[in-house]
Structure 1
């Protein structure tokens, strides 16, 4: 019995040696790749967290400088964020803060530069859309109406479609293109639900241009005119 057991054990050991001689190297490399990928993923996560923390510190610096009215520090802090952490979501957030502070201080060209960067480079679609809307407002202040329309006609998340149409209507009205403005205001009116207060503002603009809001409302209702 002992000899049989020894023979069976030897056969199993021989089979194991044969298996390992054939598959040992591929298995080892596979394990190394898996473990290496896991380590790389953990490292990437740590790097991302560190980037986010450092970026948030600069967002706070932008906000504090804006509250203090220190526009030079606002531009410096945002510049540091832009150059070092431009790919983070926080960069878009800081850009909107910086641009508002600069616009409030009458530094329209500086605000325009910041908003242009956020509109083109932001990692967040929401911040990108807000930057385009605010950039259009700055361009309207500078009477650059065609440039404002170009910003509003680019890629925009669907949830911002109503606001973008309203802003287009504003630009067209300033250009004296009332019929085109009415068409955009109607799009904006239809984009907002009846419970959305913004709709009342659009309605006032339509009324000011002599448009029939009732017809717009009928078209927007289920089963209304197409």
Structure 2
């Protein structure tokens, strides 16, 4: 048996009063609103009346905290997987608007196709698809839930849609605590649904974690 569907869940809002790009830095957990967003995603999954067999999360604090209500409602134990982690980034710990004005940071902006400021897009796709394939194969029944980050999820979306991996980070359709659902058709995964269960909580939220 294999998983019926794979649900890619993004984490909720992070407590980040200094508005820095936090990337993989430790100590960045969910805000109060972020916990409510994560609960909204968990409730959405529960309301689908589906069976769930696997819960996987990135090892970062914000994704583990976002996986917690999913684990509680669906009765699953989270398994950490480095392959679904946020990409490393040259601008971690910096305020992006200021950083791009500093000539010392300009070499990191030299090639947006890679991108030159962090992990190559192709590398992100490779590890994410490996994690998705593993979750699909090792889930004996029901669906698999993977709690990850905006850029990794968006790279999966663009890859499966046969779109160029290079993109404008400001135009990603991957809201906080959103859910992107995949199914395998033949030998290929396809995206079958996108939901934004925390949309009502989004007004005034802060979302500056990655480039």
Q: TM-score range by the shorter chain?
A: under 0.3
TM-score, with normalisation over the residues of structure 2? 0.24
The TM-score, its normalising length taken from structure 1, stands at 0.22
Larger RCO of the pair (alpha carbons < 8 Å, separation 6+): 2
* Larger Rg over CA atoms: 1
Larger strand fraction of residues:
2
